[in-house]
Structure 1
Amino acid sequence: MKHLAALNKYFLSNKWRLILGLLFTAISIVFSIFQPIMVRQIFDLLSHNIDEYRLLSDTSLKGFFRSDFTHVLAFYGISILIFALLSGFFLFLQRQTLIVMSRHIEYDLKNEIYQHYQRLDLNFFKMHRTGDLMSRITEDVSRVRMYVGPAIMYASRTLFLIIIIVYLMLQVNPLLTLYTLSPLPLLALTIYYVNRIIHRKSEKIQAQLSNITSIAQESYSGIRVIKSYIQEDASAQHFEDASEAYKNSSISLAKTDALFQPTMALMIGLSVILTIFIGGIQVIDGNITVGNLAEFVIYVNMLMFPFFSIGMVASMIQRAAASQQRINEFLQIEPVIKDAPGAQAAMLKGEVRLENVSFTYPHTGITALKDFNLHIKPGQKVAIIGRTGSGKSTLAQLLIRMYDPQQGKVLLDQQDIRTIQLGSLRGQISYVPQDVFLFSDTVANNIRFGDPTASLETVQTAARQASVEKDIFGFNEGFETEIGERGVTLSGGQKQRISIARALIKDPNILIFDDCLSAVDARTEKEIIGNLYAYLQHKTAIIITHRIFALFEFDKIIVLDEGKIVEEGTHDDLLSLNGYYAELYTRQQTGEEENVTE
């Protein structure tokens, strides 16, 4: 139960539902207990009056006696019916409180997990598969809900019922009670042993379920690659193997669960036999009445469901404990990137400085930047050029603080980036990533993601500046067109330009473009560059690219190689060096001329 103790805060916030649910449970049981008591009274009444009735068989009093006795039986019958209805009514209220409580806790727990996902840094998501993350917020939470709802409900009912029934049985005959309950220690040992097996198997099943979810999610996302390489059969076999392992583990757990039912039936059967045998002897000896024996038999049968539910509740608790353990382990992960104590909001003007920065990716051990230094004045336009793996994108990740450098400082307006609140920092920097991501929503809402309060006119202006407005007006529903998951209905160039419009609509003082024009043609590229040049007049802009924008007048061009600056200067300065930049420019010009000739 140590893992499930983390849920106590939710019980506290729903204490009134829990208290009322337990109260309704107790009241329901009290009304149900009246039924065997009345059966005892009926049997005793019959036993005591049957001889008198036979003596009056030849007298005129027989009819009156029969009539009175019939009325008494009718009274008991109606009373039993009323108590049954009252018990059922409070049972209904019990479910209305405890099951509703479990749904509220499920809601709160899912929100807590999702909010924690939002807090975690980028490295966490690179180290964990999406399927496993999804499994924690769906399957694991569902199993925990079974504990905070049905398990609590059945366990409380079982506990109250056993306490009340055992008390009443002891009041009748302690010796008969002892014999009736004698199989319980064996039952307890069985439950303890089986619970340990269930817990171990539940942990394994949850891990296998996460693996299946991850495989399915990766297959859906990479379906184009799978089809292109004709790997449908291999992919299906991979999923089948994972499903087979999950199926075998689930069947094994089901077999273990199945031990409870026959065990409970055996214990109940032994209790009934002992009750009738020992109780019969007690009746013969005159220690108890026939009504007491009937009452005991009903009590034993009333204990049947509690005994059966012990196994069910134990299974729920063990599965929930295994799931809650996985949730606790996740919730205890602290984000590496977070607001430092005393971090404050800041109004950024646009000065960027990196001092002796070195950075190695923790999940791969690859060093991306080495003793890196860079100074960008407010309003300057800087191009970052270099080969793949030279550290260009890493520079962008450090500036928006997706990572912190292991050595050196990243300064904005002479202020260490770690002393600025994350919300304030990222709210004042627009970043267009290399890997464009669009949401399954309308075109307008995808652009408005940069500023949720923006009007449609502002959205259209941003789209015009990104040279995508004409494309959007060509869609069936214009800006209200649903673009599908990840923008599947759009071309690569359209996705990139919508992503640029999303960045422009924020109207920040610092913009970072990470190779965001790779999927557009040369004519559209020139149009976008022209629009950006006018838009960026008084803003700091860092454009990361593998191409040279000759039409864009950069204040500084930086060439990276293996995490270091190897060339720096203006366009003309770098051409005069006759190095990597000049070689790239010559190749690009030659390629453009060949395209024009063709």
Structure 2
Amino acid sequence: MKELSHLNKYLLKYKLLLVLGIIFLIVSNYFAIWPAKVVRYAIDYVTESFALYHVFEGGSLGGILFTKLEVGVVILGIIILVMALLRGFFLFLVRQTIIVMSRKIEYDLKNEVYVQYQNLPLSFYRKNNTGDLMNRISEDVSRVRMYLGPGIMYGINLLVLFPMVIYEMLKVNAELTFYALLPLPLLSVSIYFVNNVINKRSEEIQQSLSSMSTFTQEAFSGIRVIKAFVREKDSVKNFLKESENYKHKSLRLVFVNSLFHPLIMALIGLSVILTIYVGGNQVIDGKISYGNIAEFVIYVNMLTWPVTALGWITSIIQMAAASQKRINEFLKEKNDIVSDKDLDVEVKGNIKFENVSFTYPDSGTKALRNISFEVNAGESIAIIGTTGSGKSTIANLIGRMYDATDGKISIDGRSIKDYRLSKLRSQTGYVPQDVFLFSDSIGSNIAFGADNISKEDIIQAAKDADLYDNIKEFPKSFETMLGERGITLSGGQKQRASIARAIVRNPKILIMDDALSAVDTNTENTILNSLQRIMKGRTSVIISHRVSSAKLADKIIVLDDGEIIEQGTNESLLAKNGVYKELYDKQLQQEEVD
């Protein structure tokens, strides 16, 4: 229960619903117990009335007694019906309080987890896979809700009903109570162990289903590759293997489930037999009446579900505790990327790196070593280098996706850590290397990064990114819906949409991380011409492996293995005949060949 104590704040928040639910539960159990007494009274009344009727049978008094017997039975039947309806009504209220409470807490808990996900740094997502994150906010929260709803409801019902029924049974006969309850502990223990087996096999099925779903998702996502390499048969073969595994585990669960109800019925039947046998002997001895036996049988059946539920509730609590532990692991994660002074100011865009080094916390890879450079507000800088040289890491550090391991990064003379994160990022336009577009209209994707963007701004951003003509050819223009991750667009169109999304914000700092890698030379030149106008008045960081993109910048730095090996202007670097000149000549020759 230690892990589940995290939920106490929510139980306190909805304490009114919980208290009302307990009250309604007590009242509903009161109306559940009374019919057993009425049945006992009815059987005894009918038995005694028939005995008296047989004495006066055939006479006028016999007719009067029979009429009264009929009226009495009808009245008792109405009383039982009314009590059943009242019990049903209060059970409805129980579900409208306790179950509703569990749904409200589920809603709050999912929101708490999702908000935590949004606040955690990029390093967190590098360590955890998407499937696990999804499971914790869906499957784990659902299991916790089962504890908060049915678990609490049936648990309280057991605590309330058991003493009430035992008290009524002891009032009638203590010996008969002992024999009637004798099989129930065995029933609860048996169900506990059977439930554990069921839960274990259910988890195996969930894992198998998850594996099969993952395989299917990958097969659908990579259908082009499968078809291109003619691997359809292998794909079907592998799916059949996963499906066979799922079927095998499902049949094992069905086997255990098939034993579940017979076990319950057998033990309940044993309790009823003992009640009738021992009760029958006591009726013969004149200790109890026929009605008492019927009353006890009803009591035994009333206790059957709460005792049966004991093992089920225990399993629910165990699963909920395990799930809440997994949730708590993420809720306890801390975001180290926080603002020191929470400055909410507009930036001009002067960026300065002073002996900055960075090592990725999850992998231990040292990406940058003693990087120092400065770009004035309104100027542009190009960062070029081979794959793995640390170019994208610099972009991540400017946007504070990570904090530098050593050294200092400042913007406008202030440490980057002093700025409010949301304010800093809202003034930065970022075009990532790995473009991600949402399953929404292309217009909404372009306007994603800013509020209150006009249609004219969206159109202008599309024109600047050389995407407008493509969009106009789409069936619904800017309202055209994109597929998952923008699959309906080509690689170049996705990159241009990402550029439009960045520049529509009119950012003070524009970062383009290899933003033109998927476009051809002609399109690149068109976009670069537009970017020359766009970059005026704002600080621009152009990260690229193409020298053609770097030529636009006021200054250029060349990275290799996390270190600056050359820096200067395009002309000065060409004059040095170093690494930059070598890259320039190679790419120029490649363009001539193309």
- TM-score w.r.t. the length of structure 1 is 0.92
Q: 2:590 — aligned with what?
A: 591
Aligned 8 A contact 1:199 1:321 in 2:
no
1 CA distance for matches of 2:39 and 2:149?
33
2 CA distance for matches of 1:359 and 1:200?
45
1:212 positional shift: 4.7
Aligned 8 A contact 1:40 1:294 in 2:
yes
1 CA distance for matches of 2:123 and 2:252?
36
Q: Deviations over 1:423-450 (max 9, x none)?
A: 1221111110011111111111111012
Q: 1:512 — aligned with what?
A: 511
Q: 1:79 — aligned with what?
A: 79
1:402 and 2:406 correspond: no
1 CA distance for matches of 2:214 and 2:120?
19
2:344 match: secondary structure: coil
Per the alignment, do residues 150 and 206 of structure 1 end up closer, same or farther by CA in structure 2, a change over 3 Å counting?
same
Per the alignment, do residues 585 and 470 of structure 1 end up closer, same or farther by CA in structure 2, a change over 3 Å counting?
same
- 1:69 partner amino acid: L
Q: 1:443 — aligned with what?
A: 442
Aligned 8 A contact 2:355 2:408 in 1:
yes
Q: 1:279 — aligned with what?
A: 279
- 2:183 partner amino acid: P
Aligned 8 A contact 2:185 2:307 in 1:
no
Q: 2:372 — aligned with what?
A: 373
Q: 2:558 — aligned with what?
A: 559
Q: 1:107 — aligned with what?
A: 107
1:391 and 2:390 correspond: yes
Q: 1:150 — aligned with what?
A: 150
Aligned 8 A contact 1:195 1:314 in 2:
no
Q: 2:431 — aligned with what?
A: 432
- 69-78 or 242-251, which moves further after superposition? 242-251
1 CA distance for matches of 2:74 and 2:239?
65
1:228 and 2:215 correspond: no
1:314 positional shift: 3.6
Q: 1:458 — aligned with what?
A: 457
1:158 positional shift: 3.5
Per the alignment, do residues 241 and 134 of structure 1 end up closer, same or farther by CA in structure 2, a change over 3 Å counting?
farther
1:319 positional shift: 3.2
Aligned positions of 1:181-220 closer than 5 A: 181-191=181-191, 193-194=193-194, 210-220=210-220
- 69-78 or 8-17, which moves further after superposition? 8-17
1:309 match: secondary structure: helix
Q: 2:574 — aligned with what?
A: 575
Q: Deviations over 1:11-43 (max 9, x none)?
A: 222222222233222222222222111111112
Q: 1:117 — aligned with what?
A: 117
- 2:338 partner amino acid: D
2 CA distance for matches of 1:32 and 1:20?
18
Per the alignment, do residues 302 and 189 of structure 1 end up closer, same or farther by CA in structure 2, a change over 3 Å counting?
closer
- 19-28 or 230-239, which moves further after superposition? 230-239
- 2:25 partner amino acid: T
2 CA distance for matches of 1:513 and 1:14?
49
1 CA distance for matches of 2:11 and 2:255?
33
2 CA distance for matches of 1:231 and 1:366?
36
2 CA distance for matches of 1:551 and 1:330?
41
Between the two proteins, the alignment pairs up a number of residues equal to 594
- 135-144 or 512-521, which moves further after superposition? 135-144
- 386-395 or 146-155, which moves further after superposition? 146-155
1:533 positional shift: 1.1
2 CA distance for matches of 1:68 and 1:527?
102
- 2:531 partner amino acid: L
2 CA distance for matches of 1:572 and 1:392?
21
Aligned 8 A contact 1:264 1:307 in 2:
no
2 CA distance for matches of 1:198 and 1:416?
57
Aligned positions of 1:317-336 closer than 5 A: 317-335=317-335
Aligned 8 A contact 1:260 1:311 in 2:
no
Per the alignment, do residues 250 and 330 of structure 1 end up closer, same or farther by CA in structure 2, a change over 3 Å counting?
farther
Q: 1:94 — aligned with what?
A: 94
1:353 and 2:352 correspond: yes
2 CA distance for matches of 1:512 and 1:522?
20
Q: 2:415 — aligned with what?
A: 416
2 CA distance for matches of 1:231 and 1:99?
49
- 159-168 or 380-389, which moves further after superposition? 159-168
Aligned 8 A contact 1:184 1:267 in 2:
yes
Q: 1:6 — aligned with what?
A: 6
Q: 2:310 — aligned with what?
A: 310
Q: 2:494 — aligned with what?
A: 495
1:379 match: secondary structure: coil
2 CA distance for matches of 1:33 and 1:400?
67
2 CA distance for matches of 1:325 and 1:402?
28
Q: Deviations over 1:271-294 (max 9, x none)?
A: 212211221222222222222122
Aligned 8 A contact 1:219 1:235 in 2:
yes
- 1:405 partner amino acid: A
- 558-567 or 313-322, which moves further after superposition? 313-322
1 CA distance for matches of 2:15 and 2:387?
58
2 CA distance for matches of 1:530 and 1:160?
78
1:478 and 2:472 correspond: no
- 208-217 or 117-126, which moves further after superposition? 208-217
Aligned 8 A contact 1:42 1:76 in 2:
yes
2 CA distance for matches of 1:498 and 1:550?
18
1:109 positional shift: 2.2
2:429 match: secondary structure: strand
Per the alignment, do residues 54 and 259 of structure 1 end up closer, same or farther by CA in structure 2, a change over 3 Å counting?
same
Aligned 8 A contact 2:192 2:311 in 1:
no
Q: Deviations over 1:300-336 (max 9, x none)?
A: 122233333334434433333333332222322223x
1:260 positional shift: 4.7
Q: 1:128 — aligned with what?
A: 128
1:404 match: secondary structure: coil
1:504 positional shift: 0.6
Q: Deviations over 1:125-144 (max 9, x none)?
A: 22222222222222222333
Q: 1:137 — aligned with what?
A: 137
Q: 1:33 — aligned with what?
A: 33
Per the alignment, do residues 231 and 134 of structure 1 end up closer, same or farther by CA in structure 2, a change over 3 Å counting?
farther
1:568 match: secondary structure: strand
Per the alignment, do residues 208 and 6 of structure 1 end up closer, same or farther by CA in structure 2, a change over 3 Å counting?
farther
Q: 2:525 — aligned with what?
A: 526
2 CA distance for matches of 1:180 and 1:550?
87
2 CA distance for matches of 1:109 and 1:177?
44
- TM-score w.r.t. the length of structure 2 is 0.93
2 CA distance for matches of 1:193 and 1:354?
63
1:48 positional shift: 3.0
Aligned 8 A contact 1:433 1:516 in 2:
yes
Aligned 8 A contact 1:131 1:215 in 2:
no
- 2:535 partner amino acid: L
1 CA distance for matches of 2:405 and 2:319?
41
